[in-house]
Amino acid sequence: MNQKLVIISAVVGAVISIFFFLVASHAILLIGSRAPRPKITRHEFSFELVYEVHGEAVVIADRIVVEHAGRSWDAGAGHHNLWTSHLIGDTDLAVELFRNDEELIFIDLQRYLRPTFLMGDPLSTWGLSLDFPEIRRRNLTQEPVPSYRLILTQDELRDEYDILIISWTYTPPLEDNFR
């Protein structure tokens, strides 16, 4: 009888210990290290793209406004800052450089100039090089979902589409923006 009582006590103790371990570890994740607060919560970043298509010069200039939208937590990223962004002018977030019946050549500014990167968020995993904008090609003829080929080179732009990037300037990302 004593032996059964010892075994039952050990099992109950193990179950209770596992339960408290799971609850405590989940609580630590929820309460754990908070995302640092930004010193600057709203900032405008200017950019200008100058390029030629078939010898004709085109200039696209605008400002991206980035605003802090609070903080959040999820299982994949843990605690993190939320950001919103929009353009001030009439520029579309997908800047079209060239289009025909089969293809679209564009820069996706929302994907490329990410708010977390621009605001210097230390939790951002996007370490981008802004020396040359990422030019993308979209095939318009494939069904049901058009395919994307990421990042065309300068040589491909020039040789296949007669597009030449003249200059790409931007306001650099913020530094030391977090407490």
Please write down the long-range contacts of 137-146, taking CB distance under 8 Å and 24 or more positions apart.
137/103, 137/104, 137/105, 138/103, 138/104, 138/105, 138/106, 139/102, 139/103, 140/101, 140/102, 140/103, 140/104, 141/101, 141/102
Residue 36 within a domain? no
State the DSSP string of 144-172: SS--EEEEE-HHHHHHHH-EEEEEEEEPP
Which residues are CB-neighbours of 128 under 8 A, at least 6 positions away? 112, 114, 117
Q: How far apart are CA 177 and CA 170, in angstroms?
A: 18
Boundaries of domain holding 57: 42-170
Per-residue model confidence (pLDDT) at position 159: 94
pLDDT tens, 84-95? 888 887 666 778
Per-residue model confidence (pLDDT) at position 166: 92
Number of domains in the chain: 1
Confidence band for 69, pLDDT divided at 50, 70 and 90: very high
Residue 89 within a domain? yes
Helix (H) or strand (E) holding 4: helix 2-31
Residue 62 within a domain? yes
Residue 7 within a domain? no
Per-residue model confidence (pLDDT) at position 158: 92
The residue among 147, 136, 141 whose CA lies nearest residue 97 is 136
Residue 179 within a domain? no
Is a pLDDT exceeding 80 seen at residue 165?
yes
Q: Ranked by mean pLDDT, which of 33-47, 89-103, 159-173 comes out on top?
A: 159-173
Confidence band for 47, pLDDT divided at 50, 70 and 90: confident
CA-angle at 123, arms to 23 and 148, nearest 5°: 110
Confidence band for 129, pLDDT divided at 50, 70 and 90: low
Residue 55 within a domain? yes
Residue 9 within a domain? no
Is a pLDDT exceeding 80 seen at residue 146?
no
Which of 166 and 177 is assigned the larger pLDDT?
166
Residue 90 within a domain? yes
